[in-house]
């Protein structure tokens, strides 16, 4: 389908910068709202950089794409630094646009996942390895920030199923890309947004693993459920 953009291999620069910027905002906020540790400007900037660019760094290192793509142009670091400044200036007011941030987060996760899979497949990796790269690219930045904060990464605990969504998106992209890479990018992003909001709407969380019979997900009971 030539009329569709190839979101994985020909990602528009504005979309790539937007997704990196959203992740950077989330990373910077993880420092500014932390009341246990008093992070300074270096800490806030480090979290923003790792959350915004960390997944791409890991992806490129895994497939040997060096220097990493986000360092070949100044715009990615400039975007991250700009979003960090926005967080410092606006602080908690950003939470007022939580719906928009949530949507952009889903887009970011999907874009990192499909570009990870696409780059890995182009590098000649088998499909299973490409799926692994896609998941790591999608969640890697958050893991790096958690490690620096001396926290257990959320994807390892019962939590929102971000890693499972990243795996779903990676699998959808790989399956559709076998027939049409351009369609695969659009379908992958749609799967990311749809799965993200379905998980939120249904209150889905990963389930504690007690044995082989444990289900992957459980529904979190909300007051509105009665």
pLDDT tens per residue across all 226 residues of the chain: 555 667 677 788 888 898 899 889 888 888 888 778 888 999 999 999 999 999 999 999 999 999 999 999 999 999 999 999 988 888 667 656 767 778 878 888 999 999 999 999 999 999 999 999 999 999 999 999 999 998 999 898 888 899 999 999 999 999 999 999 889 989 999 999 999 999 988 888 888 877 665 667 777 665 555 5
pLDDT of residue 116: 93
pLDDT of residue 162: 92
SS3 218: strand
Token representation of residue 58: 């890991």
The reported pTM is 0.87
pLDDT of residue 12: 84
User: Residue ranges of the domains in the chain?
Assistant: 13-225
CB 108 within 8 A of CB 23: yes
**Using CB atoms within 10 A of its CB, is residue 30 exposed (0-12), middle (13-18) or buried (19+)?**
buried
């Amino acid at each position: 389908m030539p009329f569709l953009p190839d979101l994985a291999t020909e990602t528009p620069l504005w979309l790539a910068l937007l997704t990196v910027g959203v992740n950077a905002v989330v990373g910077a906020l993880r420092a500014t709202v932390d009341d246990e540790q008093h992070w300074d400007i270096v800490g806030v900037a480090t979290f923003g950089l790792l959350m915004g660019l960390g997944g791409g760094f890991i992806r490129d290192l895994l497939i040997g794409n060096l220097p990493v793509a986000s360092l070949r142009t100044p715009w990615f670091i400039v975007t991250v630094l700009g979003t960090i400044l926005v967080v410092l200036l606006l602080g908690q007011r950003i939470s007022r646009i939580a719906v928009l941030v949530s949507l952009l987060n889903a887009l970011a996760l999907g874009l990192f996942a499909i570009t990870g899979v696409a780059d890995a497949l182009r590098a000649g990796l088998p499909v299973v390895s490409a799926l692994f790269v896609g998941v790591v690219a999608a969640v890697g930045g958050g893991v790096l920030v958690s490690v620096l904060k001396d926290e257990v990464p959320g994807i390892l605990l019962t939590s929102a199923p971000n890693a499972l969504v990243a795996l779903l998106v990676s699998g959808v992209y790989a399956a559709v890309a076998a027939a049409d890479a351009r369609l695969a990018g659009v379908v992958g992003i749609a799967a990311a947004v749809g799965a993200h909001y379905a998980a939120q709407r249904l209150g889905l969380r990963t389930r504690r693993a007690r044995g082989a019979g444990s289900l992957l997900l459980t529904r979190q009971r909300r007051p509105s459920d009665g």
